[in-house]
Structure formats: structure tokens, C-alpha cells
Amino acid sequence: MLKNYTEVAVAEVFEEVLAQLRKQNPNICDCERCREDVMAVALNRLPPKYIVTDKGEILTKVSFSRVGGKAEIIASLIHGFELVGKHLRHQQGG
Ligand SMILES: [Zn+2]
């Protein structure tokens, strides 16, 4: 199965970064749409790293050294939250 390892790493630290940012700004939206927007921004800034996994294999321990370091991933996610926070695209109140 072809997988973008960068995506796995971004998903891995997503909650951590969100929790950190919420300490300063409790209003950060974490609806499905905003989460995906933030992930998209972060992933567009990071180089993809494709790997092939066996069918059904679950990547439990993320090796951040394979994707340029954890700090890089966190910085991209923070940028994503800032950008999405300024331009909310989700449907507010339907
Ligand atoms: Zn939202």
C-alpha cells in the first residue's frame, strides 16, 4: 500500500499542536473541515515522503527523522492553524 509518510507524521502531532495552541486561543475550531484545511496547508509546505507498507500494516511509531524532524512538522501545522483561523471556510451555522 502506497502511503505518504509525511501525512502519518502530521496526523501524529496534530492533537499535540492543537492542545498547545488552545492554551492561547481556546476558540480554535477543530471541526472536520478545519482539521482537514490545517492538514492540507501543513502538507503542502512539507515534502512528501512515500513509503510502501504491507496490507493492513499499521504504523504505530512515527519516525520523525524520516520526514525532516518533528520541529518542521509542528511549525507547518502552526502555520496551518494560523492561516485557517484567519480564513474559516467551514459552514458556520449551516
Ligand atoms: Zn471549523
Say whether pLDDT at 91 is over 80.
no
User: With contact defined as beta carbons under 8 Å apart, do 80 and 38 qualify?
Assistant: yes
Cα-to-centroid distance, 31 and ligand 1 (Å): 4
pLDDT tens-digit readout, 12-63: 999 999 999 999 999 899 899 999 999 999 999 999 999 998 887 777 788 9
Q: What is the pLDDT of residue 19?
A: 97
| Domain residue spans of the chain | 2-86
- Helix then strand count (H, E) for the chain reads 3, 2
Q: How far is CA 10 from CA 25, 91, 92, 94, in A?
A: 21, 24, 26, 29
Cα-to-centroid distance, 88 and ligand 1 (Å): 7
Cα-to-centroid distance, 52 and ligand 1 (Å): 32
Q: Model-level pTM? A: 0.86
